[in-house]
Chains A and B, each alone.
Chain A
Amino acid sequence: MGLWQSYRMRIRRKYRLARALRKSRELTSVQDNTKAIRPDDILLVSTMRNEQIRLPYFLEYYRGLGVDHFLFVDNGSTDGTSEYLTGMPDVSVWRTEASYQRAGFGIDWLNYLKRRYAHGHWVLVVDPDEFFIYPFCDTRPIRALTDWLDNSAIRSFSAMLIDVYPKGRVEDAVYQPGQDPLEIAHWFDSGNYTISQNPTYGNLWIQGGPRARMFFADRPKKAPALNKIPLVKWHRKYAYVSSTHALLPRGLNRVFETGGGEKASGALLHAKFLDTFGAKAQEELKRNQHYAESAEYKAYAEVLEDAPELWCKWSERYINWRQLEILGLMSKGNWA
């Protein structure tokens, strides 16, 4: 990378941070418990819209892993999301009715919150339908991971998105509040992911899984990116540039080894495909607030009408992180 390229990246990063500051004016604090954040706390940041039904289990799951404080942006929910969160001492909530799309699909808001509250903390950025899996997550809390990362001088940790889906029609997977979504959607694609490297930010670009197979069979280029770097030891100068797929400075995107070895990595189990999905797709289609004019949601709506089953005979049933490791979807790397 030449000097010129580095300079351009610097400008781009500054631009993202400036946007974050500007867009922060759209946020109104609903509940501010950030004073309770202690210096070593592990934080979780998320933006959501009408996901109240998912929150009970989401909070239970991440509290169980050892997340100390949650920072949420409620983007115009009408299902009582903010009300539900009120009174929880480890949750801070901001609300906005502004455009998700024009806030860089939410990342401007999140970049602002992290710059303000997460400097020097390990921070996890996930959506309410994403469940973070890492090596030894069944026996070691997330702090064991972050301590190890600190010890190894690693600043960012990769966890690719793995779509989990039910066997049978998606709308038959009826979700109850508080339920572990993996009880009803525990199938995934194990070996159809295609990878290339993004020359601009140096991150890997991973596509595949059931969405690619079913909704983007003719348009590989448009298929959603599955690479994510959701866990970062935050510094106020960092910024996500496109969802949690890539960060600046670019060094944070080097979560992979090019000399043959494996770095440690995890996974985000993406429990999007439940009965709640149909309504969501319709709504998102109307709002048109998603990436590339919601091409994704358009494709979902079309395909699910005719063939609403994502399951195929080569679908793999999710058991645990060790299974994902053996299948080569994540790695313990150097951690033993």
Chain B
Amino acid sequence: MKRGQVSSLEAENSGTVGIVMLVHTALDRAKQVARHWAAGGCPVVIHVDRKVPQSEFNRFRSALSETDLISFSRRHRCEWGTWGIVAAALSASEQMLRQHPGVRHVYLASGSCLPLRPVQDLVDYLAARPDTDFIESATTADVPWIVGGLDVERFTLRFPFSWKRHRYLFDRYVDLQRKLRIKRRIPTGLVPHMGSQWWCLTAKTLSAILADPDRPIYDHYFRKVWIPDESYFQTLARLHSAKIESRSLTLSKFDFEGKPHIFYDDHLQLLRRSDCFVARKIWPRADRLYDTFLDSPRGVITGVEPNPGKIDRVFSKAVERRTRGRAGLYMQSRYPHQWAVKDVTANPYSVFQGFSELFQGFDIWLAKTTGARVHGHLFAPDSVEFAGDEPIVNGALSANAKWRDYNPERFLTNLVWNTRGERQCFQFGPQDRQKIVPFIALDPNAQISVISGAWAIPLSRAKGSFSELRRIAAHLQRTEAAQLRILQKHQTKARVRIWTMAEFIEAPMEPLRNILEELGVQGPRHLNEVPKMADLEGFGLFLQNLKNQGMHPYLMGDFPVEHEPSVVPKSPRKTYLVRKT
């Protein structure tokens, strides 16, 4: 680098920080910030985007003519993702080092950056680290923030078309190069690195980069690299720097598309807590932020390490909300396809089929034992049996069968969403509306327990013409069989357990224990109370009669004509205790 003649300013500025400021819009704010830096004794070189009209630029320049510390560099046209921004930074840096040879560090900032700590604080901080370059710089393999699928290809393909204005050509040309396997050669000695475009380099490193004899080669190469402002200095600093601290002193948060988050007045406390030196981007109309951080001297912080992690949570949550959202929520701006998400409901819930037929007072027992909310048949043909026969539940969800049948999926997702934090259980059966079954089957939150064929128990005791009973039995069996086929598909994500009725009454304790365990009951081995099984006298005979009438009841398993329940004592029936084993 050419050492310029020693100016009178140099003595004053020696050891200070030079600010290179890239300005595109919101010139008034840029003006305010430039004055702030200059008032703190920092020389400022401003680059104004060539897209800003000349008249506006002239006004801007004359407004800032009051101090020698502020100067303007040659203007380039800056378009996002292109060389112009690097060219702007290069011209302005050259000018900074030429006009203010005494600066020790050069800080690259934008017009929408806002200093959060007193200028002197930054100067002292850097003075204590005179040889350190603060520049985020990582190899392409190690960075997670790349958007749009271009990582190492940023360096090996050519990008002559604008991503913003000619997206189609941009994409097609990338495809073509991939297909033809055209690759650019990376200049020898360069290892591509990437990172935040806002750096703070020592004058030594910066001048070494600017004066590198191979610079024409590098510049030529980077002109066609994609988003060179995130890689030019980041790569070249690795060649010239003695001591790199790979982090940016500028607080900047990015959204899921790689666009910077904007700070508003209500971020004031958050920004304060970050202890960062500079933040971007600030909404130009955030008066309170500008007033607070620029006008009032707050000598409270001195020498504290910046800690952007303190405010990370807020912004990483925003990214997660935009990309994943809240599981089980269906609303005006989140309407996921069932195949697009893992969780289609907000919470685990349990579906019981055949239990309330086989056990008397099953739902009361279950509610008492588990503390869950146990509904009756939520999908009964003409009614919605909410727990306690409530006409309306959380979220003002009505027990209205018409509305439920109008959209059964939303009925269920609403119920589960509205009662987040409380386990829901409900009874189901072949006599209920079946439209919901495929949805439940694909829901990993659903825990479905089926005692197949238990629907026959109430029938076996029903009065009325046997041919009618036979018709109903045949219908229920067909429905349940179809339902079980859906539940047994390999795509099913619900946790499904199916027992035939015969199987279940052979050893009912084990399944009951498992169910309670999954519902989170402490020590379910110790069942103080089990529900009373229905009277099965005559059940075998009833099945035989069905067979005699030409129907084939098979879902309940095999029952002898006179069934002898093996576990349940016949009579007198009373609740029994199972001792802890």
- Residues in B whose Cβ lies below 8 Å from that of A158: 332-333
Residues of chain A whose beta carbon lies under 8 Å from any beta carbon of chain B: 136, 139-141, 143-144, 147-148, 151-152, 158-160, 189-197, 204, 206, 210, 212-213, 217-221, 227, 255-265, 312-316, 328-336
Taking CB atoms, residues of chain B closer than 8 Å to A141 are 285
Binding site for A on B (CB under 8 A): 253, 255-257, 259, 261-262, 264-266, 283, 285, 314-315, 317-319, 321-326, 329-337, 340-341, 392-398, 400, 402-403, 406-407, 410-411, 414, 417-418
Q: Tell me, rounded to whole Å, the shortest Cβ–Cβ distance linking A253 to chain B.
A: 11
Chain A residue with the shortest CB-CB distance to B321:
A262
Contacts of A212 in B (CB 8 A): 403
A256 touches B334 (CB 8 A): yes
Residue of chain B at shortest CB distance from A203 = B332
Q: Check A192/B398 contact, CB under 8 A, given A261-B334, A330-B331, A334-B256.
A: yes
CA distance A332 to B418 in the complex (A): 20
**A144 contact from B253, B264, B315, B398, Cβ within 8 A:** B264
A315/B407 in contact, CB under 8 A:
no
B395 touches A314 (CB 8 A): yes
Do residues A336 and B261 form an inter-chain contact, with CB atoms below 8 A?
A: yes
Q: Within the complex, what minimum Cβ distance (angstroms) separates A267 from chain B?
A: 9
A336 partner, pick from B283, B317, B336, B417, beta carbons under 8 A: B317
Q: Are B266 and A140 interface neighbours, CB within 8 A?
A: yes
Q: Do A192 and B314 touch across chains, with their CB atoms under 8 A apart? A: no
Q: B447 to nearest A CB, angstroms?
A: 22
Q: Tell me the smallest distance from the CB of A10 to a CB of chain B, in Å.
A: 21
CB–CB A221/B417 < 8 A:
no
* B residues less than 8 Å from A262 (CB atoms): 321-322, 325-326, 329, 331, 333-334
- Write out the residue numbers on chain B whose beta carbons fall within 8 Å of the beta carbon of A189: 395-396
- Chain B neighbourhood of A330, CB < 8 A: 331-333
Which residues of the other chain, A, contact B331 by a CB distance below 8 angstroms?
160, 193, 195, 262, 265, 328-331
- The answer to whether residues A204 and B335 also contact, given A192-B396, A194-B403 and a CB cut-off of 8 A, is yes
A-B contact pairs, 12 of them (CB 8 A): A141-B285, A191-B394, A192-B396, A193-B414, A227-B332, A257-B336, A260-B323, A260-B336, A328-B329, A333-B321, A333-B322, A334-B256
In the complex, the answer to whether B314 meets A336 with C-beta atoms within 8 Å is yes
Contacts of A144 in B (CB 8 A): 264, 283, 285
Q: How far is the CB of B299 from chain A (nearest CB, A)?
A: 28
B432 to chain A, nearest CB (A): 19
- Indicate which residue in B314, B321, B333, B392 contacts A312 across the interface (CB closer than 8 Å): B392
Assess A148 versus B265: contact at CB under 8 Å? Given A191-B417, A263-B333, A336-B317.
no
Closest-by-CB residue of B relative to A148 is B262
Least CB distance, B155 to chain A, in whole angstroms: 27
The reply to whether B398 and A139 contact each other, CB–CB distance below 8 Å, is no
B-side interface mostly: mixed
A140 in contact with B264 (CB, 8 Å) = yes
Task: Choose from A139, A210, A227 the contact partner of B264 (Cβ within 8 Å).
Answer: A139
Given A195-B410, A262-B334, A334-B256, are A314 and B394 also a contact pair (CB < 8 Å)?
A: yes
Provide the residues of chain B in CB contact with A143, threshold 8 Å.
285
With contact pairs A263-B334, A328-B417 given, residues A220 and B406 touching in the complex (Cβ less than 8 Å): yes
User: A195-B330, A262-B333 in contact; A221/B406 too (CB < 8 A)?
Assistant: yes
CA distance A140 to B253 in the complex (A): 19
Q: Are B395 and A192 in contact (CB under 8 A)?
A: yes
Highest count of chain B CB atoms <10 Å: which of A144, A217, A255: A144
CA distance A192 to B410 in the complex (A): 9
CA distance in complex: A136, B283 (Å): 14
Task: Tell me if B332 and A191 are in contact (CB < 8 A).
Answer: no
- Apart from A256-B333, A257-B333, A260-B336, list 8 A-B contacts with CB within 8 A: A140-B265, A192-B395, A195-B335, A217-B398, A258-B337, A262-B334, A263-B333, A329-B331
- Which residues on the B side are within 8 Å of A221 (C-beta)? 406
Task: Collect the chain B residues with CB atoms within 8 Å of residue A336's CB.
Answer: 253, 255, 261, 314-315, 317-318
Contact at B262–A331, with CB atoms within 8 Å? no
- Report whether A334 and B324 are in contact in the complex, using a CB–CB cutoff of 8 Å: no
Contact of B321 among A140, A219, A256, A331 (CB under 8 A): A331
Pairwise interchain contact B332-A265, C-beta atoms closer than 8 A: yes
Task: Please indicate the chain A residues that have their CB under 8 angstroms from the CB of B406 in the complex.
Answer: 194, 220-221
Contacts of B337 in A (CB 8 A): 258-259
> What residues of chain A lie closer than 8 Å to B418, measured between beta carbons?
190-191
For A190, what are the chain B residues with a Cβ–Cβ distance below 8 Å?
Answer: 395-396, 418
Q: Which residue on A lies nearest to B411, using beta carbons? A: A194
Instruction: Please give, as numbers and ranges, the residues of chain B lying within 8 Å of A139 by CB-CB distance.
Output: 264-266
A265 to B325 alpha-carbon distance, docked (Å): 13
A152 to B322, CA, bound (A): 13
CB distance from B541 to the nearest CB of A (A): 44
B81 to chain A, nearest CB (A): 15
Partner of B322, one of A213, A315, A334: A334
Pair A220/B411 contact, Cβ less than 8 Å: no
Task: Please give, as numbers and ranges, the residues of chain B lying within 8 Å of A192 by CB-CB distance.
Answer: 395-398, 403, 414
Question: Which of A220, A255, A260, A335 is the one whose CB lies under 8 Å from B332?
Answer: A255
Give A197 to B330 CA distance when docked, in angstroms.
12
B334 with A136: CB separation less than 8 A = no
Instruction: Give chain A residues whose Cβ lies under 8 Å from the Cβ of B257.
Output: 152
Task: Kindly provide the distance from the CB of A196 to the nearest chain B CB, expressed in whole angstroms.
Answer: 6
Could you tell me the distance between the alpha carbons of A193 and B324 in the complex, rounded to whole angstroms?
A: 21
| A334 CB contacts on chain B under 8 angstroms | 255-256, 318-319, 321-322
Contact A265 B407 (CB under 8 A): no
A261 CB contact (under 8 Å) in B325, B398, B403:
B325
A191 touches B283 (CB 8 A): no
CA distance A218 to B334 in the complex (A): 28
Q: Is the CB of A194 within 8 A of B334?
A: no
B337 CB to closest chain A CB, in angstroms? 5
* Least distance between A214 CB and chain B CB atoms (Å): 9
CB-CB < 8 A to B325: which residues of A?
257, 260-262, 331
Give min CB distance, A65 to chain B, whole Å: 14
Contact of B393 among A147, A314, A328, A335 (CB under 8 A): A314
Q: Are B402 and A218 in contact (CB under 8 A)?
A: yes
For residue B80, give the distance in angstroms from its CB to the closest CB of chain A. 12
Contacts of B411 in A (CB 8 A): 194
Q: Chain A: which residue is nearest B407 at the CB level?
A: A194
The contact of B334 among A159, A193, A312, A331, by CB within 8 Å, is A331
Whether the Cβ atoms of A194 and B410 lie closer than 8 Å is yes
Q: Looking at the assembled complex, report how far the CB atom of A129 sits from the nearest CB atom of chain B, in whole angstroms.
A: 19
Give, as a whole number of angstroms, the nearest-CB distance from A127 to chain B: 18
List 10 A-B pairs, minimum CB-CB distance, nearest first: A191-B395, A265-B333, A336-B318, A334-B322, A191-B418, A220-B406, A139-B266, A189-B396, A263-B333, A262-B325
